[in-house]
Each structure stands twice: as C-alpha cells, then as structure tokens.
Amino acid sequence: MEPQLESIEKSFDLRYSGWVREALNDLPDCFTITDPCICGQPIVFASEGFLKMVGYSKEEVIGKNGRIFQGPETDRKAVMEIREAIREERAIQISLLNYRKDGTPFWMLFQMCPVFSKEDGRVINFVGVQVPILRKPRLSAFRNARSRTNLCEDEGRIRESIIRCCRREVCSDSNLELGRGTNSETLPSHDDGEVEINGPCEASELEKSKAAAAVSNILSVLTHYSGWTGRVVCSKRCCLTANGQLGASLNMSLGRIKQSFVLTDALLPDMPIVYASDAFLKLTGYARHEVLGQNCRFLSGSDTDPTTQFQIKESLRTQQPCTVCILNYRKDRTSFWNFLHISPVRNAAGKVAFFVGIQIEDHCKDQAMQGLRPEMKQLSVVGAVKVAVRGLSMGASSSS
C-alpha cells in the first residue's frame, strides 16, 4: 500500500475500531465516507457495492475527491449545492449525473450527511450514499420532431391535417400505426446513453426511502464502532461553541497552514482551544483530542515566569497583540523556550471572535537565518488565519 494511501486510511481507523470496515462492507448499499479535516476532503472509505457500481478499484478511489466521478454533462448547479451543504455542514439529497470508470453516465440519488464528534461537536466525516435511479425509456425531443417531419412530408396538406397527424403520433402506442415500419432508430432503448443523459431525472419515493435507510444504517455502524475507541460520533451536533463550532471549510483552510499555532474561542469563558495545527501537536507531543477544549495554560509548568503569564493575560484582556518568550512544557514534561506571538482575530462584523497563538521553539528562532525571519513567519500565519475566518463569516452571513 502506498504511504499516502495508508496515511489517509489511518485517519479513518483512528476514530473507529478495526472491525468497522468489515461491518460497513456487510451493508448492501453504495456509499463513500470522506474526511473534511484533510486537505481536499478525500474519500477515506468506499463500500464494495460502490466500487462495483462505478468500476474503480479501492486504490483508485481512496484519497481522491468525489469530483473524479463527475463529467461533461454533470449539472454544475447540483455540484454547487453539494459544496454549499458541505460548507454549512448540513445534509442534502439531490439527483446527480455521474460517470463510471469506462465513461458511461448514470443517474443517481445522492444523499449526504455530516458525522459529528460527540465530544466537541466537530464534523469528523461526511457520509455520501448513492442510489442508482431507474429511468423509464422515453423518446427524445429530437426524435419526436423527426417523426413529426416524416408525417408531414406533404407540404400541401392543410394545417388541420397536420395537427391531426401529430395528435395521432402522440397518442399512438405503435410505430406501425405511423406507417414507418420498425426502424430501430425511432425506438426507445433502456441502454441508449442519450436517453439517460437528456432532461432532469427525479428519484422515486422508493429510491428516496432507500437512501435515507442506508444513511441511518451507516450512522448506526459508525456510532457503534466509535464507542469502542472512546471517540464517539453521532448524527447531530451535541456540543456548540459560542462561534457555532469551526466549520469544515474553515478547518480545511487552517489545515493548509504548516506552522505551529492554536486558535482559541474569544467568546467563551476561559477561551478554550478550538483548533490546533499538526505542527503544534508535533511540537508539544499532545494528541488533538487532548488539546481541544483546553486553555493554553496547560503548557505552563513550575518554572514558567508569572510575569510573562500576566503579560499574556493583559494582552488578551485588552484585545491587543503581544510577543513573548515563555518557558513551556511538552506532554512528556520536557521544557522548551517558546517564542510566542498572540493576536486577536476579528470576524466580518469587526468583533474579536478568536485569538491565534503562534509558537516557534526558541532554538529554531536562533537558527532561522535563512528564509523568513520568525517574526515574519508569525505575521504570515496571523494573516492567513484572519483571511480564513473573515471569509467564513462573510459566507455565512450572505447565505443566511
């Protein structure tokens, strides 16, 4: 297995017990599971039924975005509706034209829903169920027009005769009645690609019920097997921050920033951490679930200078940026000098919604003679976080 593929699958296995894949594949449904916390929101699980339906292997699907199943005739408006649902972290049910690996198109009912962490309310995964829509064969508008032209070859006929002929064609159940024989070009076919693509395709109530039942079964499996790891998931958000929890799109934007930093919620008592970068976790040795919800004081220890702590507290109270060098402690209780910059982050309304804290280990600061200076690195992180937060809040206000 390729290292990148193994890493992506591992992100799924850390949340659920080892038996979850077998349990999910026992379900007869066609579905995928994506991870919005990884850049690009890749597929981390694809059911055997789904792989059989689209003709791809697991290795060709895992790590890819669902865009690989779209094609030239896929409705852009429907795709945008799905993207909006992801951004707003809500469920959606919509008809969509997708493509198999061999290029053949097919209509499906796509039902997607978020999966929330019961501990902190973050979106952990998105489940996407695909139910093929069975279409009744019907003549295309082009073929109807061609038949009408053939019926009306005699241009000398009066208008009433033409109307009668056209009415007979519409009402007729047999091409023989039209006097045209059995030309296969004029007969509808279940296998005709043109018939599958043309026109909107609505799912039946049975197909909608099947999709909803599949989602319910998948969520039951995920909830059950997440309980075995103690990192329980649920279908509804059970925990909200004052900022309404970080959205999937904000998580993705913050995930692209490679420096060590945390984001704290300025609107909640004690300003808990609501986002921690991978670089921060590597620097401190903590796991993400051990950091989220904590105040940054947990990094302090017996030899941390109280004067520096007070300086940080005052900058938070006055909502002003500050830069200090403070002695902090990793999970294993080894100490390190933290060249720390803290800055307020305002939302689109101009109110301080978060504080961002950027950490650079002091010996790294002294060695950083090449490339950007530490202060410039910190300011670039502040700028990137501000753009992400304001972009999210502006998008939320425009959609409400």
Give per-residue pLDDT as tens, 296-313: 999 999 999 999 999 999
Same domain, 52 and 159: no
Same domain, 210 and 86: yes
Same domain, 252 and 158: no
Q: How many domains does one find in the chain?
A: 3
Same domain, 125 and 148: no
Name the 3-class secondary structure at 44: strand
Residue 21, strand partner residues: none
CATH of residue 298 = 3.30.450.20
Same domain, 68 and 167: no
Position 95 in a domain: yes
Q: Do the Cβ atoms of 24 and 45 come closer than 8 Å? A: yes
Position 243 in a domain: no
The CA distance from 293 to 310, in Å, is 21
Where a domain ends, among 176, 208, 234? 234
End-to-end CA distance of the chain: 44
Q: Which residues form the domain of 158?
A: 141-187
Q: For the segment 36-65, what is each residue's pLDDT rounded down to a tens digit?
A: 878 788 999 999 999 999 999 999 999 999
Closest CA to 276 of 239, 313, 251: 251
Q: For the segment 104-143, what is each residue's pLDDT rounded down to a tens digit?
A: 999 999 999 999 888 777 888 999 999 999 865 444 443 4
Residue 181 reports pLDDT greater than 50: no
Position 313 in a domain: yes
Q: What pLDDT is recorded for position 245?
A: 55
Same domain, 178 and 257: no
Structure tokens at 22: 């077998």
Name the 3-class secondary structure at 107: strand
The CA distance from 198 to 141, in Å, is 9
Helices (H), ranges, the chain: 3-13, 20-25, 48-54, 58-61, 76-87, 141-151, 159-171, 193-197, 205-227, 248-255, 278-284, 288-291, 306-317, 362-367, 374-399
Distance set, CA 72 to CA 67, 68, 136, 198 (Å): 12, 12, 23, 13
Provide the 8-state DSSP code for 27.
S
Q: What is the mean pLDDT of the segment spanning 318-344?
A: 94
Phi first, then psi, for residue 98 (nearest 5°) are -120, 175
Phi first, then psi, for residue 141 (nearest 5°) are -60, -35
Tokens 């904000």 appear where? 250
Same domain, 65 and 208: yes
Same domain, 84 and 211: yes
Same domain, 161 and 32: no
Tokens 């970068």 appear where? 277
Same domain, 171 and 296: no
Position 240 in a domain: no
Position 261 in a domain: yes
Taking the CA atoms of the chain, what radius of gyration do you get in angstroms?
Answer: 29
Position 192 in a domain: no
Provide the 8-state DSSP code for 50.
H
Q: What pLDDT is recorded for position 199?
A: 61
Chain-centre distance of CA 140, in angstroms? 36
Name the 3-class secondary structure at 222: helix
Position 149 in a domain: yes
Residue 117, strand partner residues: 233
Residue 128, strand partner residues: 32, 112
Q: What pLDDT is recorded for position 154?
A: 46
Closest CA to 137 of 190, 89, 197, 66: 190
Label residue 74 by pLDDT band (50, 70, 90).
very high
Distance set, CA 2 to CA 33, 36, 48, 322, 397 (Å): 20, 21, 20, 44, 42
Provide the 8-state DSSP code for 135.
P
Report pTM.
Answer: 0.53
Position 103 in a domain: yes
Same domain, 303 and 317: yes
Tokens 């301080």 appear where? 352
Same domain, 261 and 330: yes
Q: For the segment 264-300, what is each residue's pLDDT rounded down to a tens digit?
A: 988 877 888 989 999 999 999 998 888 888 899 999 9
